[in-house]
């Protein structure tokens, strides 16, 4: 075969848009199976609705409807009561990949990449060739309807049939038809996803109408909006050399000293003075844009020698122990639960994060099996349920690293629900489908410690119940022979048989603390369990 010249080879060279890339790699967006694809659509729209309502200070109300239109073909409609989208931004917000209000902001939120809703628009036109119908009002009579799609070659929105509708109620409604999807009522289906969304968002009201027409309501458990997180700054201890260089070269400050104080958390003039002493050959008065790789390496090394204050927790707003306890009580009605919130920790890159964990026992906790029960692990990131890709997730790995039997908890036989939520300004997902948290050592260790603490709390209750059950079994076993023993003693001693039986019962009760206590009476119940937690 004749050799080709470079010029001939590069005649096929062509640039492609990000929309074209995801069109060929839709599995990266979460569209990699019929059931998962349908859940991904609901997930993307629902998280956008919750984020938008919260940012506007509105208690979220979201209504989702899924109706069958043919084999593996469904219509999905989602309506919220949020602030809506201005007419001039609707195309960019719902039909431009990597465009939005989230990707460039260093603030905690459910979505991060500006891909989700646009990915749904792309998936609809890929599988049905149809546009997404939008109905929206930002309030005060500024309503409209339109249809949107994506020009994948240019990654540009195509907006058509724009009509002003001043009487529409405030909020956003999107409706699209999707093929190559399937509805299934399972542990990985839409209903389970929304149940878990309600669990991690007790301030939200969620209504779901399934393909059979049945309506499932998840009323809000609390009437108070969660606090909004503030924009965060990276912490020096988590920075890499390249991170520091990129920040420096984009800085508007005139001196490295002021650049460090303005762009990173916990850097004061006093800390800068400490750094000056540690790296005397770096000029802190020069322009940050002149910072070299060697300078950056020296600063990063010096950061590790300084004693820093931990990042501010005001930048991260976890769900909260009280809200988790209330939500789990409403959904699982457990006999006992223990909730843990860890202190703020640091991820590589200077990113703070907080881990919350809970373990509930009894009630509707866990999953029923042929043998009885088994534990379920519920994974969340910034309040968003993670249903897929569990095997590679940091939460799953951390849960497996806990020796549950050490705490008298058997995850293969007991009714246990294990809840973990990771909150951060940037969740390190393993892919743009956002279903699995990367196995970062810092995250795994924090989750493991949180689960161990939650397990210790439940251990006290379960051990007490097991001990009471054991004592009650001993008592009942012995008392099974009390009547016969009293009869025999009565015939030997000629004493009253009833009096002897009562004396035997009293003697046994004095030797066994839980004498005569029935199993159901040993359960303290959730209310007493919560009181015990507070006393700790």
pLDDT tens, position by position, 290-324: 999 999 999 999 999 998 887 676 778 899 999 99
Domain span at residue 256 reads 236-303
Q: What percentage of the chain exceeds 90 in pLDDT?
A: 54
Residue 11 lies in a domain: no
Residue 150 lies in a domain: yes
Residues 77 and 168 in one domain: yes
Residues 6 or more apart whose CB falls under 8 angstroms from that of 361 comprise 334, 335, 336, 337, 409, 414, 415, 416, 458, 461, 462
pTM for the predicted model, two decimal places:
0.72
Residues 295 and 320 in one domain: no
pLDDT given for residue 430 in this prediction: 87
Which among 189, 218, 247 is the end of a domain? Answer: 218
Residues 168 and 38 in one domain: yes
Residue 511 lies in a domain: yes
Residue 121 scores a pLDDT above 80: yes
Tens digit of each residue's pLDDT (9 = 90 or more) over 78-102: 999 999 999 999 998 898 876 654 4
Residues 428 and 328 in one domain: yes
pLDDT given for residue 260 in this prediction: 95
Which among 408, 439, 460 is the end of a domain? Answer: 460
Mean pLDDT of 13-38: 73
440: CATH: 3.30.230.10
Closest CA to 74 of 123, 145, 26: 123
Largest Cα–Cα distance of the chain, in whole Å? 118
Q: What share of the chain is helix, strand, coil (3-state, %, to 5)?
A: 40, 20, 40
83: CATH: 3.30.565.10
Residue 106 lies in a domain: yes
- Total count of domains within the chain: 4
Residue 231 lies in a domain: no
pLDDT-derived band at 416, boundaries 50, 70, 90: very high
Residues 379 and 477 in one domain: no
Residues 455 and 494 in one domain: no
Residues 180 and 59 in one domain: yes
pLDDT given for residue 13 in this prediction: 61
Residues 421 and 334 in one domain: yes
Residues 245 and 368 in one domain: no
256: CATH: 1.10.8.50
Residues 245 and 374 in one domain: no
| Cβ neighbourhood burial of 445 (10 Å; 0-12, 13-18, 19+) | middle
Residue 501 scores a pLDDT above 70: yes
Residue 309 lies in a domain: no
Residues 422, 408, 390: CA angle, nearest 5 degrees: 35
Residue 2 lies in a domain: no
pLDDT-derived band at 103, boundaries 50, 70, 90: very low
Which among 218, 245, 280 is the end of a domain? Answer: 218
Phi/psi region, residue 246 (left: phi>0; alpha: psi -120 to 50; beta: rest), is alpha
Residues 320 and 355 in one domain: yes
Q: Alpha-carbon distance 41 to 46, whole Å?
A: 9
Residue 186 lies in a domain: yes
Residues 479 and 382 in one domain: no
pLDDT given for residue 467 in this prediction: 62
């Amino acid at each position: 075969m004749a050799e080709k010249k470079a010029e001939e080879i590069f005649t096929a060279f062509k640039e492609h848009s990000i929309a074209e890339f995801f069109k060929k790699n839709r599995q990266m967006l979460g569209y990699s199976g019929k059931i998962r694809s349908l859940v991904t659509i609901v997930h993307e729209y629902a998280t956008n609705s919750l984020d938008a309502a919260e940012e506007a200070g509105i208690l979220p109300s979201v209504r989702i409807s899924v109706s069958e239109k043919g084999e593996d073909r469904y219509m999905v409609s989602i309506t919220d009561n949020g602030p809506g989208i201005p007419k001039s931004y609707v195309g960019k917000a719902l039909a431009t990949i990597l465009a939005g209000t989230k990707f460039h902001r260093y603030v905690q939120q459910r979505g991060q990449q500006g891909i989700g809703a646009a990915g749904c628009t792309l998936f609809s036109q890929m599988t049905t060739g149809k546009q997404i119908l939008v109905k929206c009002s930002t309030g005060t009579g500024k309503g409209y309807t339109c249809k949107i799609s994506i020009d994948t070659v240019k990654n540009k929105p195509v907006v058509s049939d724009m009509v002003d509708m001043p009487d529409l109620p405030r909020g956003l409604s999107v409706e699209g038809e999707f093929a190559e999807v399937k509805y299934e009522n399972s542990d990985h289906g839409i209903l389970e996803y929304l149940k878990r969304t309600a669990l991690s968002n007790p301030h939200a009201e969620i209504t779901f109408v399934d393909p059979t027409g049945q309506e499932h309501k998840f009323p809000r458990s609390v009437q108070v909006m969660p606090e909004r997180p503030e924009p965060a700054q990276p912490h020096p201890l988590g920075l890499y050399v390249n991170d520091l260089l990129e920040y420096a070269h984009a800085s508007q400050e005139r001196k490295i000293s002021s650049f460090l104080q303005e762009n990173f958390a916990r850097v004061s003039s006093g800390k800068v003075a400490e750094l000056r002493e540690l790296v005397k050959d770096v000029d802190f008065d020069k322009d940050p844009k002149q910072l070299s790789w060697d300078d950056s390496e020296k600063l990063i090394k010096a950061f590790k020698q300084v004693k820093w204050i931990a990042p501010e927790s005001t930048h991260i707003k976890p769900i909260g122990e009280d809200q988790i306890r209330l939500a789990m009580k409403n959904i699982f009605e457990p006999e006992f639960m223990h909730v843990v919130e860890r202190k703020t920790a640091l991820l590589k890159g200077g990113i703070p994060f907080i881990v919350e964990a809970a373990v509930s026992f009894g009630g509707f906790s866990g999953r029923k099996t042929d043998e009885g029960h088994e534990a379920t692990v519920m994974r969340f990131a910034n309040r968003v349920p993670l249903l897929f890709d569990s095997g590679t997730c940091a939460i799953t790995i951390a849960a497996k690293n806990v020796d549950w039997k050490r705490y008298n908890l058997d995850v293969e036989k007991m009714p246990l629900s294990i809840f973990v939520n990771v909150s951060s300004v940037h969740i390190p997902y393993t892919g743009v489908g956002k279903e699995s948290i990367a196995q970062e050592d810092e995250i795994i260790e924090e989750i493991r410690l949180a689960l161990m603490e939650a397990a210790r709390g439940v251990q006290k209750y379960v051990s007490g119940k097991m001990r009471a059950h054991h004592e009650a079994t001993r008592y009942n076993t012995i008392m099974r022979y009390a009547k016969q023993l009293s009869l025999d003693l009565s015939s030997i001693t000629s004493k009253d048989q009833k009096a002897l039986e009562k004396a035997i019962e009293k003697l046994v009760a004095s030797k066994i603390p839980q004498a005569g206590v029935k199993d159901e009476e040993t359960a303290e119940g959730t209310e007493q369990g919560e009181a015990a937690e507070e006393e700790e």
